[in-house]
Amino acid sequence: MDIERILVVGSNGLLGQKVADQLLRSANYAVTLASVEETPIHVNPSAPYHRMDITNRRQVKDTAAMVDAQVIINCAAMTNVDACETEREMAWKINVNGVEHLVEAARKNGAMIVHVSTDYVFDGKAGPYSEDDRPEPLSYYGKSKLASENIVRSSGVRHFVARTMVLYGYAEGVKANFALWLIKSLQEGQPVRVVDDQFGNPTLVDDLAFGLVRAMELGKTGLYHLAGRDIQNRFEFARTLAHVFGLDASLIHPIKTAQLKQPAPRPLKSGLLTLKAEVDLGFKPNSSEQGLNVLKTQLTRAAR
């Protein structure tokens, strides 16, 4: 069997690390890691690392050519929703121009591109959404991610685009996601305010990584929703987390999104329907309770 050459972009991030871990378990892949930082978080002799900034067209082109990538998996993005709203030029540069550069490199290499998008392409008025529902982004982040989807889908390059949402999990050296922030706050006995009017599927990052790699292995193309099994509001998810980790749920206080006065508008009644991925990919995402138990095991191991 031929060994497939895969370039994992954004390999130092939460999703990038998980995708790399999955790929490196197989002898069928020659994996190259690339991220904007000078050095890799994990030095792996079987996965060379290149510093690559996706906003730099020349770096992207040179790296993809040097690796002779057959598949480019893009795990890089500017995902801070409020920062995207206030720093629009930077958001567009990373989320749109960066994807244009990756698509250009994929076209030159004859490579497939695997790209990750978000439920923020929807307005959150009538979720949960299927792949056929019409996107209507509210925020600049959502607009930039919809633009990136359109670039990939209209490129003529073989592609797989996955929308996901409320990603949580643990990997070394990554910034705190909602679940990690909540665990730390509750462990320190700090009261927290969590919105009870934003609905969606909390998604364990390991499940998303599995779905992306599985799609690539099966040669699937097109647009898919990859997200957790449960659709619930953030407050319910927070209470489930407190239960799983044995923390004090009385510290969690419900509030409305409007009270937070955040720069970027949020889709409230969101959620992603994953039936297509379940049927085509054998995608079986964890429930919130199962996913949080996986996270608990990972954090216990990491603390040893």
pLDDT tens digits along 169-199? 999 989 889 999 999 999 999 999 999 999 9
The predicted-structure confidence for 121-130, as pLDDT tens digits, reads as follows 999 999 999 9
Task: Look at phi and psi of residue 100 and say left if phi exceeds 0, alpha if psi is from -120 to 50, else beta.
Answer: alpha
- Domains located in the chain, CATH noted: 4-175+202-228+272-286 (3.40.50.720)
- What are the tens digits of pLDDT across the range 275-300? 999 999 999 999 999 999 999 999 99
Token output for 148: 């990136």
Task: Using the structure block, give the residue that is written with the tokens 């997200």.
Answer: 227
Mean pLDDT of 143-162: 97
Given this model, what pLDDT does residue 224 score? 98
Q: What is the dihedral of CA 212, 213, 219, 223, to 10 degrees?
A: 0
* Model confidence at 6: pLDDT above 80: yes
pLDDT in the model for residue 303: 86
Q: What percent of the chain has pLDDT over 90?
A: 95
- Of the given ranges (7-16, 37-46, 118-127, 197-206), which has the lowest mean pLDDT? 37-46
Residue 1 has pLDDT above 60, yes or no: no
Three-state SS at 173:
coil
Largest CA distance in the chain: 57
- If residue 35 lies in a helix (H) or strand (E), which one and from where to where? strand 29-35
**Displacement of CA 115 from its chain's centroid (Å):** 9
> What are 78-114's pLDDT values in tens digits?
999 999 999 999 999 999 999 999 999 999 999 999 9
Cβ neighbours of residue 142 closer than 8 Å, sequence gap 6 or more = 118, 120, 121, 122, 135, 267
Alpha helices in the chain (DSSP H): 14-24, 57-67, 81-86, 88-92, 98-109, 140-153, 178-187, 205-218, 234-245, 257-260, 275-281, 288-303
Portion of the chain with pLDDT greater than 70, in percent? 100
Residue 43's pLDDT band (cuts 50, 70, 90): confident
Structure token pair of residue 21: 């871990």
- The answer to whether the beta carbons of residues 234 and 196 sit under 8 Å apart is yes
The whole-model pTM stands at 0.96
Torsion of CA 302, 27, 16, 94, to 10 degrees: 160
Please tell me the distance from the alpha carbon of residue 227 to that of residue 220, in angstroms, as a whole number: 17
Task: Identify the pLDDT of residue 45.
Answer: 84
pLDDT in tens, 222-275: 999 999 999 999 999 999 999 999 999 999 999 999 999 999 999 999 999 999
> pLDDT at position 42, please?
81
Question: Residue 160's closest CA among 116, 205, 118, 120?
Answer: 116
- Give the bridge partners for 129, in sequence order: 272
73, HSE (Cβ side, Cα atoms, 13 Å):
32
* 1 against 22, higher pLDDT: 22
How far from the centroid of its chain's Cα atoms is residue 22's Cα? 15
